[in-house]
Amino acid sequence: MTIQNGWNGSGNTTVIDRLVFWARDVTGSQRLEFAGVDGHRLAGDVAESVAQEMELPEDVPYSLRDNTNARMLVDDVALGSQIQSDSDLVVIPRSHLG
Entry field: residues in the chain: 98
Question: What is the CATH classification number for the domain harbouring 9?
Answer: 3.10.20.90
Domain range for residue 15? 2-93
Counted domains in the chain: 1
Q: What is the pLDDT of residues 42-61, one digit of tens each?
A: 999 999 999 999 999 999 99
Output the pTM of the full model: 0.83
CA nearest to 77, candidates 50, 49, 28, 42: 42
Is position 73 within any domain?
yes
Q: What is the pLDDT of residues 72-81, one digit of tens each?
A: 999 999 999 9
- More confident call, 69 vs 4: 69
Q: Are the beta carbons of 49 and 17 closer than 8 angstroms?
A: no
Torsion angle (degrees, nearest 10) of CA 31, 93, 82, 10: -150
